[in-house]
Amino acid sequence: MDLGICDRVALVTGASEGLGFAVARALAEEGAKLAIAARRTETLEAAARDLRERTGAPVLAVPCDVSRLEDIPQLVARAAEHFGDRLDILVCNAGGPPFGRPLDLNDEQWQQGFELTLRSVVALCRAVVPHMRRRRWGRIVAITSTSAREPIDGLTLSNALRPAVHGYLKSLSRDVGADNILVNTVCPGSYLTQRHRDLLPRWAADQGMTPEDLLRQREAAVPLRRFGEPIELGRVVAFLCSEPASYVSGVSLPVDGGLCRGLL
């Protein structure tokens, strides 16, 4: 299927590795022009080189910590300017909030989680919508988590803040639909990225298990009996950013191998 996004300009945040990188790769494979952002210049530049070599896509790397809300207008302006004053696609992604049980998190962790997980999405949307409105075409997708649907033990910040991201984006989808801007969220299940590798020992200790046993238990809990490959999520996001997805908005889509049990 031709996704019809060749030469569309896309900004993907948190794109130096993991799921964000896979989304950037899937969009680049469809011919999109890319601006990618993450905090560390060296890993970000390496990711940009990798994407250019794999796909031949033009890739602009803009170092940015999306939890520094004051830096977001500049990020969006640079991305748009670089590609002829346009920005068609935004994929909001970043690192997940840290492990923490409900009574253990301090105020600073709540504030940081709020800025990283919710406020960054709000600030990115505010900055990109005017570009999309001007051309009456836009796609916004946020990568959240199945925690927005079913809480994950120990990931309190995620359990509390991801539903807020869904609430915000559902509201936004209603306000910008008339401008032909589609807004959706995807909820990843389990993917063995750096984040997952970093969390495993903490989770395992919490449950009195070894990381290896916990990994096996988590794989067995997925109806497809395996973790996802990041590119499997990347391609779903690319579809939601595409022309054929032109009547899909306000949706929250688990990409989890069937893990979530909810019927709707």
Among the listed residues 130, 146, 120, the one whose alpha carbon sits nearest the alpha carbon of residue 66: 120
Q: Which stretch binds ligand NAD (CB under 6 A): 91-99, 101-109, 127-135, 178-186?
A: 91-99
Cα separation, 33 vs 234, whole angstroms: 16
To the nearest whole angstrom, how small is the minimum distance from the Cβ of residue 56 to ligand NAD?
A: 22
Q: Which stretch binds ligand NAD (CB under 6 A): 60-68, 77-85, 127-135, 177-185?
A: 60-68
To the nearest whole angstrom, how small is the minimum distance from the Cβ of residue 227 to ligand NAD?
A: 7
Range list of H helices, 56-193: 72-82, 107-113, 120-135, 156-176
Half-sphere exposure of 216 toward its Cβ, with a 13 Å CA cutoff? 4
Radius of gyration of the chain (CA): 18
What are the φ/ψ torsions at residue 102 (nearest 5 degrees)? -55, -35
132-145: buried (b, 16+ CB within 10 Å) or exposed (e) per residue?
beeeebbbbbbbbb
To the nearest whole angstrom, how small is the minimum distance from the Cβ of residue 164 to ligand NAD?
A: 14
- Contact between 164 and 206 under an 8 Å Cβ cutoff? The reply is no
Q: Which stretch binds ligand NAD (CB under 6 A): 49-57, 87-95, 207-215, 244-252?
A: 87-95
Task: Considering the complex, state which of residue 209 and residue 260 has its C-beta at the smaller distance from ligand NAD.
Answer: 260
Site mask, ligand NAD, residues 5-44, x = CB under 6 A? --------xxxxxxxx----------------xxx-----
Name, in order, each residue with C-beta under 8 angstroms of 204's C-beta and a sequence gap of 6 or more.
210, 211, 213, 214
To the nearest whole angstrom, how small is the minimum distance from the Cβ of residue 11 to ligand NAD?
A: 12
Q: Which stretch binds ligand NAD (CB under 6 A): 48-56, 61-69, 103-111, 125-133?
A: 61-69
Q: Is 90 in the site for ligand NAD (CB under 6 A)?
A: no
To the nearest whole angstrom, how small is the minimum distance from the Cβ of residue 55 to ligand NAD?
A: 18
Q: Is 257 in the site for ligand NAD (CB under 6 A)?
A: no
Q: Are strands 252-255 and 138-143 parallel, antiparallel or unpaired?
A: unpaired
Site mask, ligand NAD, residues 202-241, x = CB under 6 A? ----------------------------------------
Q: Which pair of structure tokens corresponds to residue 12?
A: 């993907």
Q: Which pair of structure tokens corresponds to residue 187?
A: 């909820």
Among the listed residues 172, 171, 170, the one whose alpha carbon sits nearest the alpha carbon of residue 129: 172
To the nearest whole angstrom, how small is the minimum distance from the Cβ of residue 120 to ligand NAD?
A: 7
Q: If 0-12 CB within 10 Å is exposed, 13-18 middle and 19+ buried, where does residue 3 land?
A: buried
Site mask, ligand NAD, residues 109-148, x = CB under 6 A? -------x--------------------------x-x---
What are the φ/ψ torsions at residue 263 (nearest 5 degrees)? -75, -30
Site mask, ligand NAD, residues 160-199, x = CB under 6 A? ----------------------------x-xx-xxxx---
Q: Which residues are near ligand NAD by CB under 6 A?
A: 13-20, 37-39, 65-67, 93-96, 116, 143, 145, 188, 190-191, 193-196
